[in-house]
Amino acid sequence: MSNMRTPFIAGNWKMNKTVREAEEFAEAFKKLYKDTEVKTAICAPYIHLATLKRIFAGTSIGVGAENAHYEDAGAYTGEVSVAMLEDLGIDYCIIGHSERRQYFAETDETVNKKLHRLFQGPIVPILCVGENLEQREAGREKEVVEKQVRADLAGLTAEQVKKLVIAYEPVWAIGTGKTASPAQANEMCGHIRQVIENVFGEEAADEVTIQYGGSMKPANATELMNMEEIDGGLIGGASLQPEDFMKVIDF
Ligand code: PGA
C-alpha cells in the first residue's frame, strides 16, 4: 500500500544567525519558495521566531522552535514555555534533539512531559530520536531507538501520535557529513513505524510522519526521500542558506 503521508521538510538552524541574518534569509527564501505538496518549516532560535512569523505571514512556510518548557510560567530562568510559543502562533517545536539530550540534560522523562504539554495545544511536536556510534557499532541501534520511542511517547493517545512528527537522527550522522545510507535510514524509520503500530495501532503508524535527519542535503535528498518509510527530513547545515534549503525541498 502506498502511503498517503505528506512529505515534510523542516530546517533546524540550531544556534545560528543574528536577527539581521535571519531577516535576510527569510526575505530571500520567501522569494525562492514555491508552494508545492511538500510541507515546509524553519525551526529557529527563540529570538528569530517573531521575525520569521512576520515575514512568512500569508505563505505556507511554517515556523518552529527548537525546544520549550512544559510549565506555562514560573521561576525557570532562561526557559521559554509552550504557552508563550502558542501565543506567538508557532507551528512546530523540536523536542529531544540529541544535542539537548547530550549537553542540556534532556531525558526521556522531560521529553515526555514536553510532548504531553504540546498536545494540549496546536503546536506540532517534532520528536528526535537516534542512537550514537557506540550503540550502532554494538548492534544495539534498534533496541536503543525503540526504548526512546516507548519512553518518550508514554501515556499519549493514538489520536495524538497521528499528528506527531518523529525525526530519526543517528547521532553519528549529525553535522559530520556522514549520512546514513538510504537503506539504513529506511530500515530504522520502518522499525519506528512498527513500534508505533505495536503500541498505538495501525492507523497511528500509517499517519505518523517520520523524518530522517543527519547531513541531509541537496546531493542526497532525492534518494533518501524516495525511500518508502522516510516521509521527510530535518535539515541542519543545509537549511542555513535559502538556495540549499530550497533544493532540499525540491528534492
Ligand atoms: P545536520 O543536522 O543536517 O547538520 O546534520 C541535522 C539535525 O541535527 O537536525
Instruction: Work out the average pLDDT over 10-25.
Output: 98
Instruction: Work out the average pLDDT over 51-79.
Output: 98
Q: Which helix (H) or strand (E) holds 209?
A: strand 209-213
**Residues lining ligand 1, CB < 6 A?**
12, 169, 174-175, 213-216, 234-238
97 in active site: yes
Instruction: Work out the average pLDDT over 229-250.
Output: 98
Give the per-residue pLDDT at 176. 86
Give the per-residue pLDDT at 52. 98
Residue of higher predicted confidence among 177 and 186: 186
Q: Whose CA is nearest to atom 2 of ligand 1?
A: 236
Is it the case that residue 141 has pLDDT exceeding 80?
yes
Give the per-residue pLDDT at 89. 98
Cα-to-centroid distance, 77 and ligand 1 (Å): 27
Give the per-residue pLDDT at 4. 82
Instruction: Work out the average pLDDT over 39-58.
Output: 98
CA distance 108 to 81: 18
Q: Which helix (H) or strand (E) holds 129?
A: strand 124-129
Task: Kindly indicate the confidence band of residue 179, based on its pLDDT and cuts at 50, 70 and 90.
Answer: confident
Atom nearest to 12 CA in ligand 1: 9
What is the percentage of the chain residues whose pLDDT exceeds 70? 99
Cα-to-centroid distance, 80 and ligand 1 (Å): 22
Q: Whose CA is nearest to atom 7 of ligand 1?
A: 236
Task: Kindly indicate the confidence band of residue 143, based on its pLDDT and cuts at 50, 70 and 90.
Answer: very high
Task: Give long-range contacts, CB 8 A cutoff, 24+ apart: 96-104.
Answer: 96/127, 96/128, 96/129, 96/148, 96/152, 97/12, 97/66, 97/67, 97/128, 97/169, 98/128, 98/130, 98/132, 98/169, 98/171, 98/174, 99/14, 99/174, 100/67, 102/171
Instruction: Work out the average pLDDT over 166-178.
Output: 92
**Residue 8 β-bridge partners:** 39, 232
Q: Which helix (H) or strand (E) holds 62?
A: strand 61-65
SS3 assignment, position 131: coil
CA distance 225 to 105: 32
Task: Kindly indicate the confidence band of residue 144, based on its pLDDT and cuts at 50, 70 and 90.
Answer: very high
Cα-to-centroid distance, 170 and ligand 1 (Å): 10
Q: Which three cell numbers stand for residue 203?
A: 492507523
Q: Which helix (H) or strand (E) holds 95?
A: strand 92-95
Instruction: Work out the average pLDDT over 18-24.
Output: 98
Q: Which helix (H) or strand (E) holds 2?
A: none
Instruction: Work out the average pLDDT over 114-130.
Output: 98
Identity of residue 201 = G
Give the per-residue pLDDT at 2. 47
Give the per-residue pLDDT at 1. 40
Task: Kindly indicate the confidence band of residue 152, based on its pLDDT and cuts at 50, 70 and 90.
Answer: very high
pTM of the model: 0.97
Give the per-residue pLDDT at 177. 82
Q: Where are the alpha helices (DSSP H) in 33-73?
A: 46-56
Q: Whose CA is nearest to atom 1 of ligand 1?
A: 236
Cα-to-centroid distance, 74 and ligand 1 (Å): 31
Which of these is catalytic: 48, 97, 146, 191? 97
Q: Is residue 81 within 8 Å of 32, Cβ to Cβ?
A: no
Counting ligand 1 atoms within 8 A of each CB, the residue from 14, 16, 129 with the most, and so the one to mutate, is 14
